[in-house]
């Protein structure tokens, strides 16, 4: 048995345990990103940093074995600052599109992409509920609104914006015109948004992969099939993991400023396998390697791997394989373990997304 | 097209088609093995035969070995050596080392690109004849800037030389080279020695040797020819020594091929009558009809010739480089004759092998790779690890740009390093040794391989060595191009066939390393010192040096110093002593500004601190680091922001990419430095830069990331005004291209040389009129300033205050 101190409290530990394991057992919370219980540690994200007081050294707690007489500091300012810096750096390398531009500019903060997904799935009832709940009134404000949403719609840069106003009016089922003032803008600023609006041509083409460019576009919406088809033209600009992203959680917890434009790396490529329902967005990857490690050494099917070195290293299918041939068996494992939205279900059939 | 040249330049690689690829792969795999850890040697050999790694080759490798597609993708894209697209028939490697950088390597790259019309997006000429590659240090720093085309090295390359170099290369490639193979002769009384280290060869030693051989034959001279390893006097190569029958030694430096005949014949006369006559005739003809006799260095007195060398050699102390200039790198017999393997013999019959480690510990030997950890302590930990299989790795992955000590030790003293490794094995119970040598050091690989074979054939390596019961085998592993693999855990990962990413320590490799077996990783120089310590005793070693840093250290002195080369000095020698006494001061009359010690992990020490003794703790206290031994001298034409940017570019490119701080943090730091060098950064960014440096230093996983900020931190510490000046758009060294311009002064005579050399036609051709440079076109390539015979072109600051 070994004895260590955490935040000046004596704690017993066994040889071979890591600082993180001991700390958690003792009830302390240390944030992590690239760690997952049961998977060999990789020491990549550096978010789990702690400090050993006698040597003054900072160490990643997920991989540091406990040693006798260690004196661990978990929560001092320096430690918190270093963790915050790690998350900041990761955010600067991560294309944060937590919320779609249309939702961000909407004065009511309406979840437009969700509405589109519901409509394209044929779920008019829930689309209507969403509209009534979020727009906070039974009246139709969109009719008066100049349509910031359509102005911000990324589809606009390709052909015409998604006909959001008309879709919403159709979904809410009312066609009465009101002369009340529009709803005041929602106070809650939705973080994070690295490159909203600033898409290059090559990036736009990637976003177009989310939909079928041959669909007919509808400006006026008068029937469900039309609504469904128009809603399908949505390019899904919001992140699939926006409610579920460990990086976003940490960023908000640590009160990190929105990087807005200070991003350093953003390969826009989207790789989609419609058969296995898998989408991989490299721009959201934080190189934690969990998807590689969870499948490590499997030889029954090709899996993801790291390629290149250093700043330009990325996760990819092996050079000798096509993306459509990998992860047929292990799709769910990889998607579930990914801490950000980099690996997600392409179509989330479990539309339990909040229709609040 | 000249047919001869085309014929000789036809690539010897196999033609690439699927069937052929498969058979090449199968041959290679049969030779090498099918296990996962064989992936790097397999890829190296396949690429050698096919010129690159076609996708079909990767697929087939996965089919017939245990290597997975993920592994082969990850590994073949991690290491710089591998390429997935065909390269040109000849590769032009332009060294990006520190010394080459300060002498303008980037201008040389630009020049080659221009002359060969290689576009931005590619690195191969349209006819696939040449490819350009920017390589990390070639290890010929005293000849900076260095360019290597295939096997031929060119030194002191100026941007205006590029066309000539290409022509010369193509010409030589088609000529049959004269033999520089020395045939064993009957032992004669006199001897001629010629240095044949890599730098010497780059300086033309092979041609000199070929000339010596032909002269010997022409006059039937009875003299031994002995190629020797590096003497370290790299700035004076080719270096020739003649020892006559009466044992006098005469040294000649900077020998040209046309001087060889005269020099030799001064000392060694032909014996046979017909040759004697021939000699007399030639002698008379030469005396009357040519100047070569007058100008021959053989005319200078021995004392004069020696003086130049003596200053360089006087202050040195050769321990790791003992017998330098005398030992031939290839002969085991000579090594044995001159006390080689005596340390090993002493140790092999010791009843208590722990004595060996105790000797090393009390000698005070510390790791020479950079960190300076006590070697004795490391051996002890390793010794105590129990396992049937224990490995010793000699770390020859010297990647510091500007450092070439380990290269020299491996090329010139391979037997000594092997002996050091074997003593370590005896002391610690290891059974297998691995020499990990950079792929960029082919001569070192060749020499070590030859040495290992010779040792095996004499029974020094193998089973039951010298009937002692001790068995040891050694193999070589060639690194595939990743600076980070100098870090011991990353090195071990690459040995295991993985991407070279480090892992956190503990566990230490001495306890759990290669294949989870205990592994001792020691630097080349560390091992090279072991035989001396065993032979002369711990006390003899620890009386040299300072209190905490014992013994000697080999340095690669390069940069803006008059006499660069490889030197071995006692610890405690001051920096100033090295620069001014050994190196003969800053070259070309410029002002000594700083030294960069320790490569990209080290820092710049300003001139006013040059009286600091070389010592591990002293250097760390100043914010620098001993490092592996690179010592680059900087003058007032070197910009400290540019130096920091150069090193950070290197570490950023070499980062393995695993941990957040090194992968992303160095990018942010580099952005700020780029903006500084363009004059776009503001004062606040200096504080941001400093804070970032400290975070990266604290948060990185391994030594690469932890020390990457050092050049910036020392720059900010000792040269803060220069950084601040850059925020105001001024580069006092006139190096940052965005902040300077080239102007023609009144000294101009209108000779039009600059106009002819200007690659972008920024100087109109107006003979006899003062030339003008069109600033909108000027790319600041430096050509005009180099060729101007009147020195009339000056560099001035755009935001001129100076």
Q: Minimal CA–CA distance to B507: which of B391, B381, B394?
A: B381
Alpha carbons B235 and B202: distance in angstroms, whole number = 11
CB atoms closer than 10 angstroms to residue B285: 10
| pTM for this prediction | 0.89
> What per-residue confidence (pLDDT) applies to B478?
95
Say whether residue A305 is in contact with chain B using an 8 A CB cutoff. Answer: yes
Residues 6+ apart with CB under 8 A from B791: B747
> What per-residue confidence (pLDDT) applies to B7?
42
Alpha carbons A273 and B182: distance in angstroms, whole number = 64
3-class secondary structure, B225:
strand
| CATH architecture of structural domain A2-93 | Roll (3.10)
**A247 band by pLDDT with thresholds 50, 70 and 90:** very high
**Containing H/E element for B252?**
strand B249-252
Nearest-CB residue to A85 (from B504, B506, B699) = B699
**B11 band by pLDDT with thresholds 50, 70 and 90:** very low
Q: What is the pLDDT of residues B86-103, one digit of tens each?
A: 888 898 999 888 888 888
Task: Please state the rounded mean pLDDT for residues A90-105.
Answer: 88
Alpha carbons B552 and B569: distance in angstroms, whole number = 5
SS3 letters across chain A: CEEEEECCEEEEECCCCEHHHHHHHCCCCCCCCCCCCCCCCCCCCCCCEEEECCCCCEEECCCCECCCCCEEECCCHHHHHHHHHHHHHHHHCCCCECCCHHHHHCCCCCCHHHHHHHHHCCCHHHHHHHHHHHCCCCCCCCCCCCCHHHHHCHHHHCCCCCCHHHHHHHHHCCCCCCCCCCCCCCCCCCCCECCCCCCCHHHHHHHHCCCCCCCCCCCCCCCHHHHHHHHHCCCCCCCCCCCCCHHHHHHHHCCCCCCCCCCCCCCCCEEEECCCCEEEEHHHCCCCCHHHHHCCCCCCCCCCEEECCHHHCEEECCCCCCHHHCCCCCHHHHHHHCCCCCEEECCCCCCCCCCC
List the 72-91 stretch of A: residues with Cβ below 8 A of B. Answer: 81-82, 85-86, 89-90
Interface test with A, best of B59, B660, B669, B695 (most A CBs within 10 A): B660
Q: How far is CA A235 from CA A147, A148, A158, A269, B696, in A?
A: 18, 17, 11, 14, 38
**B296 band by pLDDT with thresholds 50, 70 and 90:** low
Alpha carbons B79 and B701: distance in angstroms, whole number = 20
Q: How far is CA B400 from CA B59, B482, B578, in A?
A: 35, 11, 20
**Which residues of A fall within a CB distance of 8 Å from B658?**
42-44, 287, 289
pLDDT over 70 for what percent of chain A?
A: 88
CB atoms closer than 10 angstroms to residue A204: 15
Say whether residue A268 is in contact with chain B using an 8 A CB cutoff. Answer: no
Using CA atoms of B218, B223, B229, B232 in order, give the dihedral in degrees to the nearest 10: -90
DSSP character for B38?
G
pLDDT over 70 for what percent of chain B?
A: 93
Between vectors from CA A216 to CA A213 and to CA A220, what angle results, nearest 5°?
A: 130
Interface test with A, best of B507, B664, B670 (most A CBs within 10 A): B664
| pLDDT tops 80 at residue B294 | no
Residues 6+ apart with CB under 8 A from B257: B204, B207, B208, B211
**Residue ranges of chain A assigned to CATH 3.10.20.740:** 2-93
pLDDT over 90 for what percent of chain B?
A: 54
* Cβ separation B663–A321 shorter than 8 A: no
**Residue ranges of chain A assigned to CATH 3.30.70.20:** 267-348
Topology at the third CATH level for domain A267-348: Alpha-Beta Plaits (3.30.70)
**B801 band by pLDDT with thresholds 50, 70 and 90:** low
Provide the greatest CA pair distance for chain A. Answer: 75
Residues 6+ apart with CB under 8 A from B246: none
Alpha carbons B141 and B59: distance in angstroms, whole number = 40
| pLDDT tops 70 at residue A310 | yes
Q: For the sheet containing A9-13, what is the strand order?
A: A9-13, A2-6, A71-73, A49-52, A58-60
CB atoms closer than 10 angstroms to residue A34: 28
Alpha carbons B453 and B516: distance in angstroms, whole number = 28
* Whole-complex ipTM: 0.92
Q: Minimal CA–CA distance to B698: which of B707, B689, B687?
A: B707
> What per-residue confidence (pLDDT) applies to B802?
46
**Containing H/E element for B194?**
strand B190-195
Q: What is the pLDDT of residues B220-255, one digit of tens each?
A: 888 888 888 777 777 777 888 888 888 888 888 888
**B119 band by pLDDT with thresholds 50, 70 and 90:** confident
| pLDDT tops 70 at residue B291 | no
Tokens of A153: 């719609």
> What per-residue confidence (pLDDT) applies to A30?
96
**B480 band by pLDDT with thresholds 50, 70 and 90:** very high
Q: Minimal CA–CA distance to A207: which of A159, A244, A242?
A: A159
| pLDDT tops 70 at residue B299 | no
Interface test with B, best of A319, A327, A334, A340 (most B CBs within 10 A): A319
Q: What is the pLDDT of residues A28-74, one digit of tens each?
A: 999 999 999 999 999 999 999 999 999 999 999 999 999 999 999 99
Q: How far is CA A210 from CA A242, A280, B386, in A?
A: 17, 12, 58
Using CA atoms of A11, A13, A17, A21 in order, give the dihedral in degrees to the nearest 10: -40
Q: Minimal CA–CA distance to B195: which of B186, B184, B204?
A: B204
Residues 6+ apart with CB under 8 A from A332: none
Nearest-CB residue to A311 (from B71, B74, B667) = B667
Say whether residue A43 is in contact with chain B using an 8 A CB cutoff. Answer: yes
* Cβ separation B504–A64 shorter than 8 A: yes
* Cβ separation B663–A85 shorter than 8 A: no
Nearest-CB residue to B663 (from A67, A289, A310) = A310
> What per-residue confidence (pLDDT) applies to A354?
52
> ω before B499 within 30° of 0 (cis)?
no
| pLDDT tops 90 at residue A130 | no
Q: Minimal CA–CA distance to A88: which of A59, A45, A49?
A: A45
Considering only residues B800 and B329, tell me which one the structure prediction assigns the higher pLDDT: B329
**A195 band by pLDDT with thresholds 50, 70 and 90:** low
Considering only residues B127 and B12, tell me which one the structure prediction assigns the higher pLDDT: B127
- Could you give phi then psi for residue A290, rounded to 5 degrees? -65, -40
Give the gap in angstroms from C-alpha A257 to the nearest C-alpha of chain B.
16
Q: Can you list the positions of beta strands (E) in B492-573?
A: 519-523, 552-559, 565-570
Q: What is the pLDDT of residues B212-226, one digit of tens each?
A: 888 888 888 888 888
Task: Please state the rounded mean pLDDT for residues A199-218.
Answer: 86
Considering only residues A177 and B555, tell me which one the structure prediction assigns the higher pLDDT: B555
Buried b / exposed e over A257-278, threshold 16 CB at 10 Å, is: ebbeeebebbebebbbbeebbb
Q: Which residue of A has its CA nearest to B58?
A: A320
Q: What is the mean pLDDT of chain B?
A: 88
3-class secondary structure, B411:
helix
Q: Minimal CA–CA distance to B550: which of B417, B733, B362, B403?
A: B362
Task: Please state the rounded mean pLDDT for residues B151-168.
Answer: 86
Task: Please state the rounded mean pLDDT for residues B77-84.
Answer: 94
| pLDDT tops 60 at residue A113 | yes
Beta-bridge partners for B151: none
> What per-residue confidence (pLDDT) applies to A181?
54
Say whether residue A251 is in contact with chain B using an 8 A CB cutoff. Answer: no
Q: How far is CA A218 from CA A226, A324, B36, B272, in A?
A: 7, 32, 57, 105
Q: What is the pLDDT of residues B680-734, one digit of tens each?
A: 999 999 999 999 999 999 999 999 999 999 999 999 999 999 999 999 999 999 9
Residues composing chain A: 356
Tokens of B789: 């015979």
Beta-bridge partners for A53: none
**B1 band by pLDDT with thresholds 50, 70 and 90:** very low
Q: Minimal CA–CA distance to B310: which of B390, B253, B370, B353?
A: B253
């Amino acid at each position: 048995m070994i004895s260590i101190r955490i935040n000046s409290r004596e704690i017993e530990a066994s040889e071979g345990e890591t600082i993180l394991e001991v700390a958690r057992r003792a009830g302390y919370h240390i944030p992590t990103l690239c760690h997952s219980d049961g998977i060999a540690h990789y020491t990549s994200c550096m978010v789990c940093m702690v400090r050993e007081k006698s040597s003054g050294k900072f160490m990643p707690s997920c991989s540091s074995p406990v040693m006798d007489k260690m004196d661990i500091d978990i929560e001092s300012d320096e430690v918190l600052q270093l963790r915050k810096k790690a998350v900041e750096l990761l955010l600067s390398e991560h294309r944060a599109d937590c919320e779609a531009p249309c939702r961000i500019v909407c004065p009511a903060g309406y979840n437009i992409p969700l509405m589109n997904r519901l409509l394209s799935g044929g779920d008019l009832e829930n689309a209507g509920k969403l509209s009534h709940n979020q727009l906070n009134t039974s009246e139709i404000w969109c009719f008066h609104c100049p349509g910031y949403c359509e102005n911000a719609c990324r589809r606009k840069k390709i052909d015409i914006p998604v006909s959001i106003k008309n879709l919403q009016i159709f979904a809410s089922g009312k066609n009465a015109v009101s002369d009340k003032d529009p709803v005041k803008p929602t106070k809650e600023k939705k973080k994070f948004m690295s490159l909203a609006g600033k898409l290059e041509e090559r990036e736009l083409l990637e976003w177009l992969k989310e939909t079928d460019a041959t669909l007919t576009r509808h400006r006026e919406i008068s029937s469900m099939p039309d609504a469904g088809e128009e809603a399908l033209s949505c390019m899904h600009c919001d992140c699939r993991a926006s409610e579920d992203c460990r990086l976003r959680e940490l960023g908000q917890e640590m009160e990190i400023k929105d990087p807005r434009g200070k991003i350093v790396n953003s390969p826009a490529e989207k790789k989609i396998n419609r058969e296995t329902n898998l989408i991989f967005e490299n721009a959201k990857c934080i190189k934690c390697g969990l998807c590689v490690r969870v499948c490590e050494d499997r030889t029954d099917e090709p899996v993801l791997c790291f390629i290149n070195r250093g700043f330009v290293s990325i996760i990819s299918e092996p050079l000798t394989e096509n993306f459509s041939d990998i992860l047929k068996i292990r799709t769910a494992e990889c998607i579930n373990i990914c801490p950000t939205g980099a690996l997600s279900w392409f179509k989330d059939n479990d539309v339990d997304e909040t229709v609040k | 097209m000249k047919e001869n040249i085309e014929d000789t330049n036809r690539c010897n690689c196999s033609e690439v088609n699927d069937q052929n690829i498969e058979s090449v792969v199968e041959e290679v795999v049969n030779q090498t093995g099918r296990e996962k850890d064989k992936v790097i040697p397999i890829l190296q050999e396949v690429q050698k035969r096919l010129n690159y790694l076609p996708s079909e080759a990767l697929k087939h490798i996965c089919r017939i070995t245990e290597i997975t597609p993920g592994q082969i993708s990850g590994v073949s894209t991690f290491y710089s050596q591998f390429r997935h697209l065909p390269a040109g028939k000849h590769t032009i490697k332009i060294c990006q080392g520190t010394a080459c950088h300060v002498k303008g390597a980037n201008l040389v790259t630009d020049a080659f690109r221009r002359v060969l019309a290689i576009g931005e997006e590619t690195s191969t000429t349209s006819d696939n004849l040449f490819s350009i590659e920017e390589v990390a240090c070639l290890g010929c720093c005293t000849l900076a800037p260095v360019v290597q085309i295939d096997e031929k090295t060119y030194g002191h390359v100026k941007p205006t030389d590029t066309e000539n170099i290409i022509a010369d290369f193509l010409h030589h490639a088609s000529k049959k080279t004269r033999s520089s193979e020395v045939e064993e002769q009957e032992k004669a009384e006199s001897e001629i020695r010629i240095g044949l280290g890599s730098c010497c060869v780059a300086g033309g030693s092979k041609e000199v040797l070929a000339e010596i051989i032909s002269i010997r034959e022409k006059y039937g001279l009875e003299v031994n020819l002995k190629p020797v390893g590096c003497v370290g006097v790299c700035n004076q190569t080719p270096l020739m020594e003649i020892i006559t029958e009466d044992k006098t030694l005469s040294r000649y430096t900077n020998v040209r091929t046309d001087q060889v005949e005269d020099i030799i014949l001064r000392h060694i006369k032909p014996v046979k009558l017909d040759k004697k006559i021939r000699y007399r005739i030639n002698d008379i003809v030469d005396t009357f009809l040519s100047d070569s006799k007058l100008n021959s260095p053989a005319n200078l007195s021995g004392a004069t010739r020696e003086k130049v060398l003596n200053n360089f050699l006087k202050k040195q102390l050769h321990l790791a480089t003992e017998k330098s200039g005398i030992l031939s790198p290839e002969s085991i017999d000579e090594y044995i004759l001159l006390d080689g393997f005596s340390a090993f013999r002493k140790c092999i019959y010791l009843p208590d092998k722990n004595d060996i480690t105790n000797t090393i510990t009390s000698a005070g030997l510390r790791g020479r790779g950079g960190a300076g950890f006590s070697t004795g302590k490391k051996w002890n930990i390793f010794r105590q690890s129990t396992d049937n299989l224990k490995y010793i790795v000699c770390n020859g992955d010297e990647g510091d740009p500007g450092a070439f000590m380990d290269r020299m030790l491996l090329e010139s003293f391979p037997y000594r390093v092997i002996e050091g490794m074997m003593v370590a094995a005896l002391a610690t119970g290891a059974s297998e040794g691995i020499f990990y040598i950079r792929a960029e050091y082919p001569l070192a690989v060749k020499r070590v391989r030859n040495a290992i074979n010779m040792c095996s054939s004499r029974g020094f390596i193998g089973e039951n060595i010298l009937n002692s019961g001790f068995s040891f085998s050694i193999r070589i592993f060639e690194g595939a191009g990743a600076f980070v693999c100098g870090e011991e855990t990353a090195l071990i990962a690459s040995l295991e066939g993985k991407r070279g990413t480090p892992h956190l320590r503990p566990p230490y490799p001495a306890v759990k390393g290669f294949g989870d077996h205990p592994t001792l990783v020691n630097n080349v120089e560390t091992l090279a010192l072991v035989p001396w310590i065993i032979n002369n005793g711990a006390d003899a070693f620890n009386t040299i040096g300072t209190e905490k840093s014992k013994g000697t250290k080999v340095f690669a002195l390069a940069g803006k110093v008059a006499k660069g080369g490889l030197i071995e000095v006692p610890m405690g020698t001051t920096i100033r002593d090295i620069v001014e006494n050994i190196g003969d001061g800053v070259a070309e009359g410029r002002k000594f500004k700083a030294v960069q010690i320790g490569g990209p992990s080290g820092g710049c020490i300003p001139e006013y601190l040059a009286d600091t003794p070389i010592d591990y703790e002293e250097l760390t206290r100043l914010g620098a680091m001993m490092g592996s031994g690179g010592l680059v001298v900087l003058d007032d034409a070197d910009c400290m922001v540019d130096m920091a940017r150069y090193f950070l570019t290197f570490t950023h490119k070499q980062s393995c990419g695993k941990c957040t701080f090194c992968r992303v943090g160095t990018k942010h730091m580099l952005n700020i430095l780029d903006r500084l060098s363009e004059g776009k950064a503001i004062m606040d960014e200096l504080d941001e830069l400093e804070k970032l440096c400290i975070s990266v230093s604290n948060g990185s996983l391994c030594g690469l990331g932890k020390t990457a900020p050092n050049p910036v931190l020392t720059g900010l510490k000792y040269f803060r005004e220069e950084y601040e000046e850059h925020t105001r758009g001024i580069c006092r060294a006139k190096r940052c291209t965005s902040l300077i311009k080239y102007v023609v002064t009144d000294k101009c005579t209108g000779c039009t040389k600059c106009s002819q050399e200007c690659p972008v036609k920024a100087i109109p051709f107006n003979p006899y009129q003062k030339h003008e440079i069109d600033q909108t076109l000027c790319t600041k390539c430096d050509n005009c300033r180099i060729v101007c015979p009147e020195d009339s072109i000056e560099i001035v600051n755009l935001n001129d205050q100076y």
